[in-house]
Amino acid sequence: MNLIWFRNDLRIDDNPALQAAINTNQPCQAIFISTPQQWQQHDLAPIKIDFIERHLNLLSEQLGQMGIPFTHLESSDFSAQSQCLLDYCQQQNIDQIFANQEVELNERLRDDALSKQNMTLHFFESDVIVAKGAVLNGQGEMYKVFTPFKKAWATHLMRTYQAPLPSAITTNTSLIRSIKNPTITFHALKQDSSKWPLANVVLQQVVPDFLQHKLSDYHHDRDFPTIKGTSGLSPYLAIGAISAKRVLAELLHQHPQALDAISQPEGSWLNELAWRDFYRHLLHHFPKLNKHTNFNPKYNGLYWPNSPQLLSAWQQGKTGYPIVDAAMRQLVQTGWMHNRLRMIVASFLTKHCLVDWRLGEKFFMQHLIDGDLSANNGGWQWAAGTGCDAQPYFRIFNPITQSKKYDPDGSFIRKYLPELKNVPLKELHFPHSYLEKNRSSDYWPAIIDHATARQQALEFYKQG
């Protein structure tokens, strides 16, 4: 009997572990082992937990159509999960386990320990477009700067591109007797994720619509939070409900020359897929990133002031900078934040408030539906200037000019800060003088002056 162990690959499409198990022509069953205690230790957001649960139930239904029994078991952490898996295999007379690799360190250590058990395990790679280790520089090392990685990545793809695996449900299902698998319910804190459609709907409707109607303007629209100009695929990629290879295949089907244009405006969305691979390759090659250490050791000597008051104001969206506060409210209320806003609020926390980037990274993971260690760590270290291919420490986002540029009509700010609904547009992006003149106290004062903060940050980073 074969066992397919689903982890961070909640799909039947382009799933190499699932396909390999089916190809043996041996009976198969599938399992998912939830670890609520481990989730809490890894700061998994309640909305992401709900999102995973919904996709597991979709997966359960799809596997049932294929005649594959799907079992959900619960354990506390990875150690208990491993023992739970071994016990299950013994009870069910499992001969072989098929699973897709996970890039994070604790997960890799768990799998390494399991590989030493008296079990036959088959691991596959399913989370990246280009295999980790396949794109290296002239010295045979992982690139530390994105642009040359991207060029080598695109060149490698043009030379070696292979279409993703087909959906497993299309394989001889007419000859299979379907079954009904039980409903899966997690015993963990959850937040409703139903505003995000399931992955099968996204692949059938959202992706084609994006490629046909939004891709051409993506290079411009992606920076404006009030324009629905992005694909919205990050939550699905984060839990493996949609394959990055499938997304690339859909892009190339519509735009066959996209790989040639990766450095041009029309290739800007493909650029985002390259960034995703870049961060996952970094996590693979530099395991220290799993432990939230600075990529650039030069900054290990920085002693962040970490003001509890400034951190709390940032978390609550009460910094006095409307674009920052509106963005933080979007995060807490919806479990998502526009990428341009992620850069603005991360720069503000690290370079205006001088709060350690790790505290911001943690808060994001606790709230984001698309929380992903590699991308979240990469993004925060980029903003803080401590990472690989980072924003230089002396580049400090001005939240007022960023607000004027990317929310020019103030509609995003007004959506999340109704306190400012009556403030004229020309005053909206930093309304304190106007509010003082009009004796309005609906909005809170700025927690720090931008010019002062900028100078303090420049002095602070010289310690590194």
The verdict on whether residue 138 carries a ligand-binding annotation is no
The verdict on whether residue 143 carries a ligand-binding annotation is no
The verdict on whether residue 434 carries a ligand-binding annotation is no
The verdict on whether residue 230 carries a ligand-binding annotation is yes
Give me the catalytic one of 61, 125, 250, 272.
272
The verdict on whether residue 427 carries a ligand-binding annotation is no
The verdict on whether residue 273 carries a ligand-binding annotation is yes
Q: Where are the alpha helices (DSSP H) in 103-198?
A: 105-115, 146-160
Give me the catalytic one of 5, 153, 380, 382.
380
The verdict on whether residue 109 carries a ligand-binding annotation is no
Token pair in block for residue 190: 């959850």
Task: Report how far residue 172's alpha carbon sits from residue 165's, in angstroms, rounded to the nearest whole number.
Answer: 15
Token pair in block for residue 51: 């999102």
Give me the catalytic one of 275, 314, 336, 382.
275
357 included as an active-site residue? yes
Phi, psi of 96 (to 5 degrees): -140, 145
Q: What counts of helices (H) and strands (E) characterise the chain?
A: 22, 5
The verdict on whether residue 460 carries a ligand-binding annotation is no
Amino acid 424 reads: P
What is the four-CA torsion angle of 14, 198, 217, 335, rounded to 10 degrees?
Answer: -120
Q: CB under 8 Å to 337, separation ≥6 — which residues?
A: 327, 330, 331, 345, 364, 368
Token pair in block for residue 416: 């999340």
Q: Are 56 and 11 in contact (CB under 8 A)?
A: no
The verdict on whether residue 356 carries a ligand-binding annotation is no
Task: Report how far residue 129's alpha carbon sits from residue 14's, in angstroms, rounded to the nearest whole number.
Answer: 11
Give me the catalytic one of 250, 266, 296, 339.
339
Task: Report how far residue 386's alpha carbon sits from residue 241's, in angstroms, rounded to the nearest whole number.
Answer: 31
Q: Are 211 and 250 in contact (CB under 8 A)?
A: yes
The verdict on whether residue 371 carries a ligand-binding annotation is yes
Q: Which residue has the tokens 């998994």?
A: 44
444 included as an active-site residue? no
Q: CB under 8 Å to 454, separation ≥6 — which residues?
A: 351, 352, 396
Task: Report how far residue 357's alpha carbon sits from residue 304's, in angstroms, rounded to the nearest whole number.
Answer: 9
Q: Are 218 and 268 in contact (CB under 8 A)?
A: yes
380 included as an active-site residue? yes
The verdict on whether residue 104 carries a ligand-binding annotation is no
Amino acid 18 reads: L
The verdict on whether residue 274 carries a ligand-binding annotation is yes
The verdict on whether residue 233 carries a ligand-binding annotation is yes
Closest by CA to 101, choosing from 8, 204, 227, 194, is 8
The verdict on whether residue 231 carries a ligand-binding annotation is yes
Task: Report how far residue 242's alpha carbon sits from residue 149's, in angstroms, rounded to the nearest whole number.
Answer: 24
Q: Put the strands of the sheet holding 2-5 in their side by side order.
A: 70-74, 28-34, 2-5, 96-100, 120-124
The verdict on whether residue 194 carries a ligand-binding annotation is no
Token pair in block for residue 251: 């892009």
Give me the catalytic one of 5, 39, 196, 357.
357
Closest by CA to 214, choosing from 203, 222, 202, is 222
272 included as an active-site residue? yes
The verdict on whether residue 416 carries a ligand-binding annotation is no
Q: Mind telling me the catalytic residues?
A: 272, 275, 304, 339, 357, 380
What residues are designated binding site for FAD? Answer: 218, 230-234, 269, 272-279, 370-372
What residues are designated binding site? Answer: 218, 230-234, 269, 272-279, 370-372
